[in-house]
Amino acid sequence: MSNQSQPAAGTSSRLVIDPITRIEGHLKIEVEIVDGVVADAWSSGTLFRGIETILKNRNPEDAWLFTQRLCGVCTYVHGASSVKCVEDAISLNIPGNARIVRNLLMGGQYIHDHIVHFYHLHALDWVDVVSALSADPTATEDLANTLSPNAPLMDFAGTQTKLQNLVNSGQLGPFSQGYWGHQAYTFSPEENLLFTTHYLFALREQVKAAKMHAIFGAKNPHLQSIRVGGITCDHDINPTRINEFKIYLSELRHFVDTIYKPDVVYLANKYAASWSNIGSFNNYLAFGEFPLGDTPEAGLFFPGGVIHNKNLGNVEPVDLGLVSEHVHRSWYEGSLDRHPANGETIPAYTGYNTGSEYSWLKAPRYNGEPMEVGPLARVLIAFANNQSQIVSLVDDFLHDTGLTPGDLHSTLGRVAARMIETKTIADEMSSWVDQLVLSGETYVEPFIPNSASGVGTGEAPRGALGHWINIQNEKIDNYQMVVPSTWNLGPRCNSGKRGPVEESLIGTPVIDPEKPVELLRIIHSFDPCLACAVHVIDRTTGQQYTVTIID
């Protein structure tokens, strides 16, 4: 998983983690450690994405089918942005029922992603699983009752038995790369047993979010009910299906209230002393998500905005004209930054070299500056804009942990932000589903003109997402996507500024370079998903492949 070069004069060394596990896709992180602290960092996406090339000369109405398959984790978000960019190009407003169903599908995506991230992709950075084998199950049950008396009863002794069987078998599966015994872990055996049991319980709970997707989206992953012009699941907008959706939503809200939220608060309290000031970044960007009405003037439930230098007192509106992508340090032809509407995706692999080109990711910038996107950006922007639900939950979290708003600019801040917006969205979805109109309109027939251009922006669970389309002769002439993990994990830009993940690693103390759990805590807090950022090339031969799709 990692390798370390020999230190120079005993003070400086290079550490490479390749691949980063417990993420989607292929990510390589290299850091320079000087006197036990990260002094420099490089983030490299190691596979090439070719979807934009595949889309050229295709029917704009078909783009969402291809883009949605960028990833099996964000199963809906690219389809949503794709239909929105075409609808923007042809100036089409969708009916109210279509807007509400799309909000419910996106909300289900958030709930699913955030639960899976906290428990199954990130928890092992904080939880020593094997330590749970020495826990007292009765004491763990007492802790659980104190933490959340309304949570479901759980078999902590049964969890210990399952863990012991895994250890005895030598086939530890997802726990095989745990840094057991590392001094950066602070949980007691009972706390580790509690969180490990919740890890297993959450595996069952996340399925309910997928089932909600199936009700209005036909299946999960890769939903089937959206189209340019609206949705096609009008037959599912009936009392039986709506009630089924509400049941799953209610059960997930109970899980969030009684397990997820208390767990995040508890973890933050245990790690606040050391992790409320590590892994920070300065700038934040959100495009906004969840339209509240059938026209843009109605606004968004999660507002868009830009924050510079952690200044919550000055949230600027987003100007899409200021978005650009840099390729100076990436494996693409050209050296100039381009707006996505005029972007190019022409691969030019030159070999991995941190002194020049070192990533398949481009480097998105806003007015020349790198921007962190994702839950923390959304929560801070909503908090600064006095969005009532977010303000209430942020205030509760700060009260329960003794932290300050400034402490949110951190690794723990990202963990908290995911929980805060999960509860916010889950609660709000209960009112959205009641707004569905039986037998209401769900679709408007689109008309594709000879030429047009448009953009579809929104918020994937991992952050700001934009699709840009140019239509010529009623076909796709150019299609570009700027995705969350490109914003967060992109390399240096033309002016040499590090990307958000690279910058957030600077200054991090690393106790044991052979077990760099500190670095993984920061990297995983961004929830990297490289599948939609990069795709296929043969690294051994350098050969590129032509993909032919037969209609």
Compute the distance between CA of residue 198 and CA of residue 122 in angstroms, rounded to an integer. 13
Out of 14, 22, 49, 74, the active site residue is 74
Q: Is 468 exposed, middle or buried (0-12, 13-18, 19+ CB in 10 A)?
A: buried
How far is the CA of 10 from the CAs of 13, 33, 38, 96, 455, in angstroms? Answer: 8, 11, 15, 65, 52
Residue 52 · residue 38 · CB < 8 Å: no
Out of 14, 22, 24, 502, the active site residue is 24
Out of 71, 85, 233, 493, the active site residue is 71
Q: Is 23 exposed, middle or buried (0-12, 13-18, 19+ CB in 10 A)?
A: buried
Residue 531 · residue 27 · CB < 8 Å: no
Phi, psi for residue 131 in degrees, rounded to 5? -55, -30
Q: Measuring CA to CA, which residue among 23, 90, 174 is closest to residue 522?
A: 23
Question: Is residue 233 annotated as a catalytic residue, yes or no?
Answer: no
Question: Is residue 529 annotated as a catalytic residue, yes or no?
Answer: yes
Please, which residues have CB within 8 angstroms of residue 373's CB and are 6 or more apart in sequence?
284, 285, 286, 462, 463, 464, 484, 487, 488
Please, which residues have CB within 8 angstroms of residue 409's CB and are 6 or more apart in sequence?
280, 281, 282, 310, 376
Residue 9: helix, strand or coil by DSSP? coil
Question: Is there a cis peptide before residue 221, judged by omega within 30 degrees of 0?
Answer: yes
Out of 117, 227, 414, 462, the active site residue is 462
Residue 283 · residue 309 · CB < 8 Å: yes
Out of 85, 233, 493, 529, the active site residue is 529
Question: Is residue 120 annotated as a catalytic residue, yes or no?
Answer: no
Question: Is residue 71 annotated as a catalytic residue, yes or no?
Answer: yes
Out of 14, 49, 78, 418, the active site residue is 78
DSSP letter for 223, please: -
3-class SS letters over 303-349 = CCEEECCCCCCCCECCCHHHEEEECCCECECCCCCECHHHCCCCECC
Out of 43, 148, 485, 504, the active site residue is 485
Out of 85, 233, 493, 532, the active site residue is 532
Compute the distance between CA of residue 81 and CA of residue 481 in angstroms, rounded to an integer. 9
Question: Is residue 532 annotated as a catalytic residue, yes or no?
Answer: yes
DSSP letter for 297, please: G
Compute the distance between CA of residue 218 and CA of residue 76 in angstroms, rounded to an integer. 12
Neighbours of 235 (CB within 10 A): 8
Phi, psi for residue 28 in degrees, rounded to 5? -120, 130
Active site residues: 24, 71, 74, 78, 462, 485, 529, 532
